[in-house]
Structure 1
Amino acid sequence: MINLISKALFLLMLITGYLAAQDAVGNIHGKITDVETRQPLAGVNVILEGLSLGAATDAAGNFQITGVPVGVHTISADYIGYQKISRTDVVVRGGRITFVNIELAEAAIEGQAVTVESDFFQKDAANPSANSFSAEEIRRSPGGGGDISRILSALPSVSSRGETSQDIMVRGGSPLENGFFVDNIPIPQVNHFTSPSGASNGPIGIINTDLIDNVDFYTGGFSAKFGDRLSSVVNIDYREGNRETFDGQLEMNFAGFGGVFEGPLAKRGSWLVSGRRSYLDLVADAINAGGAPRFEDLQTKIVLDINPKNKITILNIYGASQFQQEKEDALDEGFDEYFKVNNRQNTIGANWFSLLGTSAWSNTSASFTHKTFDFYSNASRSDIRLVENNFSENTLHLRHSTFFQPGSVANIELGFNYDYHFDNFSLQLLVPDTTISGVIIPVETRDNVDVSGARMGAFASLTLKPAARLTTVFGIRGSYSGFNEQTVIEPRFSLSYQFTSRLTLNGSAGIFHQGVSNYLISRDKQFRNLRDLQSRHIIAGVEYLLTPDTRLSLEFFDKDYSDIPEPTPATATRGPLYLPDDRFGASNWGLLTNNGTAYARGVEFLIQKKMAVNFYGMISGSYFRSRYEDFNGVTRDRDYDNRVLFSVIGGYHPNKKWELSVRWTYLGARPYTEIDVAASLAAGTEIRKTDAVNEASLPAYHALFLRADRRFNFRNATIVLYTSIWNAYNRTNLDEYAWSQTKREILEVKQFSLLPIFGLEYEF
């Protein structure tokens, strides 16, 4: 294998035939705009830190810096009346153009813009509980595997199940409480290998992080422009393709192979295409997968400038995955079923962005999402078909926002969204099933159950700056569901007060709703009348800049949940479980009402250092409780009540060729419901002690991830070799316990063991 890689590297170097790194240079092009009005800023001084290179923006806000040595740089943008901003992790490659777009905010304190210190952390008054990541910060993250969800899980109060799943649980919520947007277009899931409920059942994501320009992660108290989510929003911006020349990138790693290609479009735009294909079935044994997972995805972004003030972008994101567990593998592992599952989803949409005058803009998007799920399972010992579950979900989305600035101390943003769903579900339970409570579910067939209806909302947001140090945001959102004919009003409020140039106080509060999933509605037509779930957020925090490139933040959060669907005691088939935490999309719960309540509250801290020179790092920690009251009035732990989360990430650039990074993650003991061995033996299937839901705990999870990158820079190309070790000290982390009737014992379902990962990128 090493010999093969060496030959491949030698061939690439021969093909490129370019000069060594010390002779290689690249160019930096970009645009500077006002963060609020989106207007281009002319005359901004753009400086490359540590080098005597720079430029000034033209009337369109554009700048160019040529002859930049290859490597990782920091760019600073300075403009009178605005806060000076520094952008770290600007990677310059030989013979290529690196595009850097920077948004400047007006100086919060009079005279602040002429100070020497630069701001490495851009603030968002409308979303105080926000964290942002650049493309390079995402790419190099140890243990990230190029997946956006794993990178976000390093933040405080963000939990996960470990390496085998991409789900993120934000501040004690379930993975289904998070919303994802790419370029203002809703994406139903960002994961391959999903369950009927939408939760992740695999280690790979759909989003190609090589296409990302920036990620904003709102962990609570988010703006009124976002609706139909209870916990968090992940807002992803894809970069544009190269507007000036053709670029390409080929990559091969443990998960598969792929490429990214981009170039100009008629001198008025750009195109960008990415494709990936896996060969995970070849390494399934190495990662204890017990099967042969496969995936593929194809993503495209096209940008066209209609004129200097109007731009249209077209986006398409396609993903498909398959996991098939063979009978022999299931028997060897002790599993009572073997199965096959296929997932497909495609989202296509367009954005029209328009600058209106000098202090206003509008953004309108229309998109369509198609998603299918096909599943069957057979009994391992008898080959009897047990279940067939198939569905198709289709959604039309329309979103619009208009922003205008009536004066220097006020901003207004108005908008709406309209989503129309037309879905079809089929379920065949071919043999009687016994739930984890021991209740027998008879054979049932639901063929071609249509679930359709609209969800819509409108919002208004007013930002006021009554004093130089104070910013307040008042928001209101109204939402209507055509499924239950319910109208809800959701007030939102946030504030940010800057005591000094280093110390800032933040706070936010709001009410949030989320509709019952159409998958659940398909199981019983009466569920259509269930009210939307509700959460109330209260958040208070403080930020302090220890140095210009190092930030300390401390935040308290409180979430109260109400109108949660729960079964009535007389009809409950699965005991007093918390329905929104169901990962697998159970088919029968009994009669449901909206009487459930829950809460999540805690405190978290984050120390984040940007790579201003050659070192970066992040330390995060949190303590929280996430609990619910069951239908018997007993307060119980939710499935993701880890209580303690801690993470450390660090990276070091000894020179422009090497980068070394490390990550250590600790997830506190996750609650689970114990298996009743005697009852399972008697029933011949898994029975849990549902009179003691989540009263036991799995062992705490912790793992060490190491990564090393080596760059080979040439005049017109770059080769990147990287190696990573997941679970470096080979900790045995458990995902769950499961019952094996085949072996008549409890099985330990484990996370990945020590896993070395190698990858190669060729950029030209």
Structure 2
Amino acid sequence: MINLRIQAVKIFLSFFLVIVTLYAQKGDIIGQVIDKETQSPLIGVNVVVVGTDRGAATDPDGRYHIRNIPVGTYNLTFHMMGYEKIEKLNIPVSPDRISQMDVSLGISPIAGEEVIVTATAFVKARDAVVSDRNIDYTELVRDPGGAMDVQRMMQALPAVVSGADQENEIIVRGGEPAENLFLMDNIEIPNPNHFGNQGMGGGPIAIISPLFIREVDFYAGAFPARYGGKASSVMDIHLKEGNREKFYMDMDMGMSGIGLFAEGPLANGDVSYMLGFHKSYLDLIIKNFGMTTVPQYYSLQGKLVWYLSPKTKLIWNGLYGNDAINIGEGDESVSQGAEYVDVKGYEYATGLTLKTLFGKNRYSLITLSNVGNYWNYNVKEGMADGSRNTFFTKNDLETEWTLKGDYFHCINNRHDFMVGANIKYIQFNHKDWFEGDTAWTYYYHPYDDPTDTTFYYTADDYYTDNPDTFTTHGIAKIYNEWNLDKNIWTTRYAVYGQYKWKPIPKIIITAGLRYSKFEYSNYSMLAPRFGFSYKLTPVTSINIGYGKHFQEPAYTHFTANLEKNRKLKSRSTEQYVLGIEHLFTKDMKGSIEIYQKDYQNLSLPRSWIEHDSLDYYKNEMVSIGEGYSSGIEFFLQKKLSKDFNFTISYSHYVAKRKDVRREDEPYYTADYDFRDVFTFISGYRWNMHEYKWYRNVRDKKLWKAMSWLISPGDEFEISVRWRYTRGRPYTRQTYDPFLRRWYTSWSTDINTERLPEYHRFDLMILRRWMYKSTAVVAYIDIMNIYGRKNVWDYVYNSDGTKNKIYQYSLFPVGGFTLEF
């Protein structure tokens, strides 16, 4: 069945490429240019297509339109007196299509009366001083090993690691999962992934379609005061707006699924829209390999923009994902004692944002949003009679209604500030059930003699040679049935402000303050922020950042013990960052940063700090954890401005947590202390139109019929990524044959062992064809091309053995996009 579907796809592509036999001549580029600080449109910005004589100037609304550009990939420069000169790279011009590139420009430093106009392909986010990165859609689709997933792409940064290949979780600077704040067009999203774990921020498949993304700002630490609620980092995803002039449709297929994307105008251009639908196909591939775990999922995404006036627009965003998976008997996940696991869930986000400009130096954003996640688990065990007994269920719903208002005011070129406030109305409705359990004691009878009831606890010759010749001896511990049915509504609110001052053109000082309170725990938080930047030269800066950041415990921590856990404190981090960055050329930039990150009020299970390893203490938790991480990061990137790009990143850091059980060893190595992280990425692009042999054969009918298979495409690109980390720390488990269980005792040293070192090599091949009214982009992304067996974790079996669980082995992922 799978082979028939593959053959159908091949026939469709061959037929499609044959019927579009004429090459198109030209396309257009449109967009809007605005002031980065005030969001006001800029009139008179010169927009030039690099390497051509084509260009345009922006009109009073900041809009430009460059017509009749030969198909291909181009760079655009944006320049206006008194503003920074920006070069946007790799903008595709497709046949009979209008590409869109919106840009914001910041004011340039001024020395005397000379305006610094050094062009750069690197963009800094508003109010960013330290530890920030900006990427756009064209970089996302070219990332090898990233499978067009923005979270996986961020894992190439020196500050970021992930726990495993199977997850796109972002773990920053010795932190922990779930410490990253996600925003999509000013809407905070707890977890924008299919099959996301409750209380975490990652998953195997991203929900947000890359076709919607315009650019992403990522802050690895000491981020501005308008962001809050997370302890480590921020990923601010900015979506593009639908085309206001013409309808277009794309069909795409990749790791996230197969689907359709459409954009265009409504109401004579007074409204623009984007709509997308994706559905999984990995279930077909997995079934073909005989595996029992079959994920099924789909997602819907949409965006509408009403242009109410030149200074006012109303924006609606919607996102929905639906997940289902059945883990059958024999799957690796059975290691925890469950033989059958049925998982269903959904996640959604929707919101309205009103953006209003007041004059030329002020604007506001008012957002009303609703987000939610639902998890439904049914865990069963196979019984001797062939039936399945359910012993654990989860039916949890978590939602947030948020009203947020931000006001930005640029007083003049030296002073600007912003203030804002938000209130969240939070629901966590948890319905969980566990049937209870019994911890048994066992004796072992030698040589299959069940009449011998002597317990050979230290007789290795009996236990080692006869590990399965055991009989129940008695009861060590009884765990009662646990039933939770609690629907909690509470609020969280915050007020914040930030001031930016440029006392002289070479210095930027930012100072911010954020106050917030979580009503359920009655815990208040005051978080100062500070940044300082000094330009040694027009292309070299020294930057200093400080920030205190708070994050509430996961909602599951509160409901795990409604009485004891209600007063859990919010964890906090204090981050200190010192860095230097240098622009070597317009497309190459390097930076070095050192940082210190201190943790307070980490929530720890009481069972972890008490002597009885069998007692769960009714899931009680205490906010007494402390820790720190410190390190140095090197980052060098050459963007793809012509035909070659590379990225080199390296991080060395130490992450520790306080061992509150002991005084002789006050700190232990943290769970995500990988210590050394190195990434190398490089790529090369060929424009095949420059080669005479290609121009001679591209119009041949036979060549066109087979071009999807043998042609390099009108553009051909190959890129690679190599990633190395030291092994993740783990704690040595002790096996007790008397209980037939693995455990860590009160006196066990934590994280003294490390998994084997991790490394993998990824290869991506990208091809692009231009036809009369259609463009085709195809890629193959081969992860772990040399099949390195990277250990994910160990499975500890009840018979005293343990097995390795591996991360992705050789894993090819293909995809394509058809632009209609």
Could you state the TM-score of these two structures normalised by the residue count of structure 2?
0.87
**Alignment gaps of 5+ in structure 1:** 577-585
Distance 2:788 2:10 in 1: 32
Shift of 1:726: 0.9
Instruction: Give runs of aligned pairs for residues 156-167 of structure 1, distance below 5 A.
Output: 156-167=158-169
* 1:412 lines up with 2:382 in the alignment: no
Shift of 1:444: 2.7
Shift of 1:443: 2.6
Greater mean deviation of Cα atoms: 720-729 or 335-344: 335-344
Shift of 1:380: 4.5
- Matched letter for residue 511 of structure 1: K
* Structure of higher CA gyration radius: 2
Deviations 1:175-223 (A, max 9, x none): 21111000000111022112233354x5211121111000000100000
Distance 1:624 1:331 in 2: 32
Shift of 1:732: 0.3
* 1:530 lines up with 2:542 in the alignment: no
Distance 1:271 1:210 in 2: 13
* 1:324 lines up with 2:361 in the alignment: no
Give 1:752's aligned residue: 808
Distance 2:616 2:229 in 1: 23
Distance 1:288 1:620 in 2: 39
Distance 2:422 2:334 in 1: 50
Q: Answer yes or no: is the 8 Å Cα contact 1:81–1:113 preserved in 2.
A: no
Deviations 1:452-493 (A, max 9, x none): 211110011100000010011010111111012222211100
Distance 1:542 1:30 in 2: 33
Deviations 1:581-628 (A, max 9, x none): xxxxx9977443322111111100100111121112211110011110
- Matched letter for residue 424 of structure 2: D
Distance 2:114 2:819 in 1: 38
Q: Answer yes or no: is the 8 Å Cα contact 1:330–1:380 preserved in 2.
A: no
* 1:725 lines up with 2:729 in the alignment: no
- Matched letter for residue 499 of structure 2: L
Distance 1:441 1:367 in 2: 45
Q: Answer yes or no: is the 8 Å Cα contact 1:573–1:588 preserved in 2.
A: no
Deviations 1:724-751 (A, max 9, x none): 211000000111001233x752121111
Greater mean deviation of Cα atoms: 451-460 or 667-676: 667-676
Q: Answer yes or no: is the 8 Å Cα contact 2:162–2:169 preserved in 1.
A: yes
Instruction: Give runs of aligned pairs for residues 611-760 of structure 1, distance below 5 A.
Output: 611-633=640-662, 634-655=666-687, 656-676=714-734, 678-679=735-736, 681-688=737-744, 691-741=748-798, 745-760=801-816
- Alpha-carbon distance change, 170 to 74 in structure 1, aligned in 2, over 3 angstroms: same
SS of 1:283 mapped into structure 2? helix
Greater mean deviation of Cα atoms: 525-534 or 494-503: 525-534
Shift of 1:279: 2.1
The two structures, once aligned, show a CA RMSD in angstroms of 2.4
Shift of 1:117: 3.3
Deviations 1:689-734 (A, max 9, x none): 6612211111111111101111110121111221121100000011
Give 2:694's aligned residue: none
- Matched letter for residue 748 of structure 1: K
Give 1:580's aligned residue: none
Distance 2:414 2:521 in 1: 41
Give 1:237's aligned residue: 238
Distance 1:502 1:478 in 2: 36
Distance 1:460 1:66 in 2: 43
Shift of 1:431: 2.8
* 1:444 lines up with 2:481 in the alignment: yes
Q: Answer yes or no: is the 8 Å Cα contact 1:311–1:354 preserved in 2.
A: yes
Deviations 1:603-657 (A, max 9, x none): 0010011112111221111001111012224311111110111111111111151
- Alpha-carbon distance change, 543 to 670 in structure 1, aligned in 2, over 3 angstroms: same
Q: Answer yes or no: is the 8 Å Cα contact 1:450–1:522 preserved in 2.
A: no
SS of 1:384 mapped into structure 2? strand
- Alpha-carbon distance change, 132 to 353 in structure 1, aligned in 2, over 3 angstroms: same
**Alignment gaps of 5+ in structure 2:** 441-474, 688-713
Give 1:549's aligned residue: 587
Q: Answer yes or no: is the 8 Å Cα contact 2:124–2:134 preserved in 1.
A: no
Q: Answer yes or no: is the 8 Å Cα contact 2:606–2:617 preserved in 1.
A: no
Greater mean deviation of Cα atoms: 648-657 or 566-575: 566-575
Distance 2:610 2:602 in 1: 15
* 1:484 lines up with 2:521 in the alignment: yes
Could you state the TM-score of these two structures normalised by the residue count of structure 1?
0.93
Give 1:190's aligned residue: 192
* 1:13 lines up with 2:17 in the alignment: yes
- Matched letter for residue 505 of structure 1: I
Instruction: Give runs of aligned pairs for residues 385-534 of structure 1, distance below 5 A.
Output: 385-432=390-437, 440=477, 442-525=479-562, 526-534=564-572
Distance 1:651 1:749 in 2: 32
Shift of 1:282: 2.2
Q: Which among 141, 145, 148 is matched to residue 146 of structure 1?
A: 148
Shift of 1:316: 0.6
Distance 2:25 2:113 in 1: 38
- Alpha-carbon distance change, 121 to 336 in structure 1, aligned in 2, over 3 angstroms: same
Shift of 1:49: 0.7
Instruction: Give runs of aligned pairs for residues 93-108 of structure 1, distance below 5 A.
Output: 93-108=94-109
Q: Which among 590, 600, 612 is matched to residue 629 of structure 2?
A: 600
Distance 2:345 2:214 in 1: 27
- Alpha-carbon distance change, 662 to 455 in structure 1, aligned in 2, over 3 angstroms: same
Q: Answer yes or no: is the 8 Å Cα contact 1:568–1:631 preserved in 2.
A: no
Q: Answer yes or no: is the 8 Å Cα contact 1:572–1:589 preserved in 2.
A: no
Shift of 1:127: 4.1
* 1:25 lines up with 2:26 in the alignment: yes
Distance 1:114 1:339 in 2: 64
Distance 1:290 1:137 in 2: 35
Greater mean deviation of Cα atoms: 443-452 or 562-571: 562-571
* 1:180 lines up with 2:182 in the alignment: yes
- Alpha-carbon distance change, 508 to 440 in structure 1, aligned in 2, over 3 angstroms: farther
- Alpha-carbon distance change, 575 to 705 in structure 1, aligned in 2, over 3 angstroms: farther
